[in-house]
Amino acid sequence: NIRISSSEYSGQDVLLVTTSDITKRLMSEQQLIQASKMATLGEMATGVAHELNQPLSVIKTASSFITKKVRKNEAIQDEILKTLAEEIDSHVDRAARIIDHMREFGRKSDVEREKVRVNETLEKALEIFNQQLKLREIKVVKEFEKDLPPILADSNRLEQVFINLLINARDALEEKSDKADNKGQSKKIFLKTGFKNGLVTIEVKDTGVGIQKSILDKIFDPFFTTKKVGKGTGLGLSISYGIVKDYGGHIHAESQEGVGSNFVVHFPVPSEAK
């Protein structure tokens, strides 16, 4: 980190240059981000297990049928055998994609900049988290603007931001649903993207419990949380805020207590992509 300031030395105007080594601070930030990723993977374990169980069930059914026929020395029609083989092959591919996605999400990522399509990254985040939402009967409504210009970011770190926002929306909906007078109400998350005034905008909106006005300006502070002890680290939104800032973006929340919250993220578009 380099700082330059004007000063005076021996009666002359000079420029004073000071440097400081921020390597340890950057390493600590990276470790914190990675720890948050691992916590997020833990959050998604149930949904991922259910997601993997589906292709495994198909493979098990097909293999059991083949084994049964072989033991009885019964012939299997070519068309049936072809269908079984294709089903096994496609579901092995599906399971492999899920595992590869989890592995990719869990890897350490540096603050790199490359052209990223926001809609694609948001779809990836939803894909890895969708089963979690289905199990809780949460409906996702998507409104993505087509042909958005790319932004400069890292897809892996951006996906972490979106998953953190989805987790936040899910918890807000669950908290509202747990209250007796809200039983049976529909639970929805609205995902919206757009482009205006040189900025790509992403909105993650929920119909959850909302955020008290008195704490709205604190939600991005490290370790700040309104969740019960043992549920949440208070780091998700803080880390998301830092990642968005790393890529020149801005994130803020709009909320009405008892109605829901809307997290809005803006990213600048590089001049060559406009």
Domain ranges for the chain: 50-103, 115-273
Q: How far is CA 109 from CA 28, 37, 223, in A?
A: 13, 11, 22
pLDDT of residue 233: 59
pLDDT of residue 249: 95
pLDDT of residue 186: 83
The pLDDT of 167-183, averaged and rounded, is 82
Q: Is the per-residue pLDDT at 196 higher than 60? A: yes
Beta strands in the chain (DSSP E): 2-9, 12-19, 114-116, 138-144, 151-153, 187-196, 199-206, 250-256, 260-268
- Going by pLDDT thresholds of 50, 70 and 90, the confidence category of residue 17 is confident
pLDDT of residue 107: 67
Asked whether the whole model's pTM tops 0.85, one would answer no
pLDDT of residue 14: 85
The pLDDT of 96-104, averaged and rounded, is 76
* Distance, CA of 107 to CA of 95 (rounded, Å): 19
* Distance, CA of 267 to CA of 274 (rounded, Å): 13
Indicate the SS3 state at residue 209: coil
* Distance, CA of 158 to CA of 229 (rounded, Å): 27
The pLDDT of 125-139, averaged and rounded, is 84
pLDDT of residue 40: 67
pLDDT of residue 153: 93
Q: Is the per-residue pLDDT at 50 higher than 80? A: no
The pLDDT of 195-221, averaged and rounded, is 92
Of the candidate ranges 77-91, 130-144, 218-232, the one whose mean pLDDT is the lowest:
218-232
Q: Which range, 48-52, 81-85, 222-226, is most confident?
A: 81-85
Q: Is the per-residue pLDDT at 110 higher than 90? A: no
pLDDT of residue 228: 65
pLDDT over 70 percentage in the chain: 81
* Distance, CA of 271 to CA of 206 (rounded, Å): 33
pLDDT of residue 273: 59
Query: At residue 245, what are phi and psi to the nearest 5 degrees?
Result: -65, -35
- Going by pLDDT thresholds of 50, 70 and 90, the confidence category of residue 26 is low
Q: What is the CATH number of domain 115-273?
A: 3.30.565.10
Kindly state the helix (H) or strand (E) to which residue 145 belongs, with its residue range. none
